[in-house]
Amino acid sequence: MSEAARPGSRWLAEALAGAGVSHVFFVDAILRRTLIELETLGVRRVLAHAEKAAAYMADGYARAAGRPGVCLAQSVGAANLAAGLQDAFLHRSPVIALTGRKPAAFQYRNAYQEIDHDGPFSAVTKARARVETPEELPHLLRLAFREACEGTPRPVHLDLPGLQGELVETATIAEPPRIPPQHRMVPARRPPPDPDEIEAAARALAAAERPVLVAGAGAVLAGAHRALRTLAEAGPVPVATSLGGRGILPTDHPLHLGVVGTYSAPPANRLVHEADLVLFVGCHTGDQPTQNWTVPPRDRPVVQIDVEARELGRSYPAALGVLADPARALEALAASLRPRPSWKAWAERVAAEVGAWRAHIAPLLAADAVPIRVERLCAELSAVLPEEAILVADTGYSGIWTGTLVELPSPEQRYLRAAGSLGWAFPAAIGAKCAAPDRPVVCFCGDGAFYYHLGELETARRLGLPLVVVVNDNSAFGQGLVNVHRLQGDRPGNPDDIVRFGPTDFAAVARAFGVEGIRVERPEAIRPALERALAASGPVVVDVVTDPWPRAPEPWIPPP
């Protein structure tokens, strides 16, 4: 055996540790020899209770760390792991999924609990490969890290030979276990913009009277916070965000317009619709951030900055595209900016209308009603959220409530949102806390979401993670409650069968898992409970009993 040669299990462990992977998330039984080697290299093995949860943890880890998250499952759990990658794919998160599969001699012969893995993973990965022989592993693992980090980050899947990947582990691999440095973090590259494209964008901006910038998750991935703020203030240019872009500009900044699209508070859509030019930065321009492509209208002048060429003009065909790293493009555009006198008045009007809406909802934020209104819960969370906190929000109403009413005034605060998978936030918050152990991590989810992965309370306790889980406990799928009752109308029957459940005391459930639980039933008790939870040395569930009937802020929709 040459000096470089080592068993496959040691090779894989050294390659992952050398790439900066500090945690791996898995459900037994997979790569057991590698997991044993990883401990000797200081990598934490996080045993989850469900493959989907392991994928969500890897996703939360990747978003918080800015490097690939790694999740593992044996052959029979592979389809479950694939289901958990949907959110990472939709949000553009670099996750590497490793699965085992039955050896070649078992294929196409009704192998026990074996299905073809290409199908489940094809829709939720940027790239995937079957490792047929141990000799292929070095090349394909490097390929996996490269694909996960280059361009638009997204999940990658490697299918290893052996039910537990053992055929790779027990082989000898001669190549050095090295992942190139540029493929250990995102963004892998920061391509500069074409000067001609920047000049064209600057001319388009200079022709506008009422420009608006819309920042998306791609701008956050690029770390474009400072560059965006510099350009916005130089204009001034008001800034709206997609839900995934929330937090790129402090929410108390006078140019902050709010989340735009289907999860928007009313002023944002109306003002972006009124803009005569929209500058999209790292925003995928899908139906959610554009209110089904009506905000802005498809005929409105658009400038689009993205690191991925295929995104330019995808939904707004006449968009003037700038292919570049969003931070570098914004820096170049700021240097070429030619503000117009009308911009200041436009920015002042935007600030006044956003301020008027804030004043309108202020009574709800201070409401003393029992059951508790969610607006009051959001206000209390805003008041105590630490300056370096990571707020992890679930999908549906959890995304709307936090996206419109929880304030993020500190430039250091981060907002991680579910891209659509109910139940994502709690496991993702565990992953985020693993990636950022020195930062406060707060999960905000509804009870409908929390039910999905209650078993991971044991995981949080076992890891000793100081993690706060705030449960908006209204014994219902609150987002659909009114619509279901409206559809039922006067017909006989029980619409609550469709959207109501519980009640459940999640504080008591947490205590049964050995986790501290605090039950909150009155509004004045919210803040003391949150402060106590944030000061705790381990995980805490704050179970807040809320009224299911109040509606989250509704987006403004352009008239037909």
CATH superfamily entry for domain 6-183: Thiamin diphosphate (ThDP)-binding fold, Pyr/PP domains (3.40.50.970)
Contacts of residues 293-300 at CB distance under 8 Å and 24 or more positions apart, as own/partner, are 294/557, 294/558, 295/260, 295/261, 295/269, 295/558, 296/272, 297/273, 297/558, 300/275, 300/276
Task: Supply 141's token pair.
Answer: 């693992």
For the stretch 30-56, pLDDT in tens is 999 999 999 999 999 999 999 999 999
The pLDDT of residue 368 is above 90: yes
What fold does the segment set 195-353 form as a domain? Answer: Rossmann fold (3.40.50)
The pLDDT of residue 337 is above 50: yes
Map out the domains of the chain as residue ranges: 6-183, 195-353, 366-545
Q: Residue 103 and residue 86: Cα distance in Å, rounded?
A: 27
**The predicted structure's pLDDT at residue 107:** 86
**The predicted structure's pLDDT at residue 112:** 85
In 47-187, which ranges are continuous DSSP H helix? 51-65, 78-83, 86-91, 118-122, 137-149, 166-169
For the stretch 126-152, pLDDT in tens is 999 999 999 999 999 999 999 999 999
For the stretch 515-560, pLDDT in tens is 999 999 999 999 999 999 999 999 999 999 999 999 999 999 999 8
Residue 259 CA, distance from chain mean position:
15
Whether this model's pTM surpasses 0.85: yes
- C-alpha dist (Å) from residue 33 to 29, 95, 138, 178: 10, 22, 17, 19
Task: Supply 498's token pair.
Answer: 């469709």
The pLDDT of residue 27 is above 70: yes
For the stretch 405-453, pLDDT in tens is 999 999 999 999 999 999 999 999 999 999 999 999 999 999 999 999 9
The reply to whether 6-183 and 195-353 are identical in fold is: yes
Choices 3.30.980.20, 3.30.70.270, 3.40.50.970, 3.40.50.300: CATH for 366-545: 3.40.50.970
Closest among 331, 381, 317 to 529, alpha carbons compared: 381
The strand order across the sheet containing 320-323 reads 256-259, 239-241, 211-215, 277-281, 302-306, 320-323
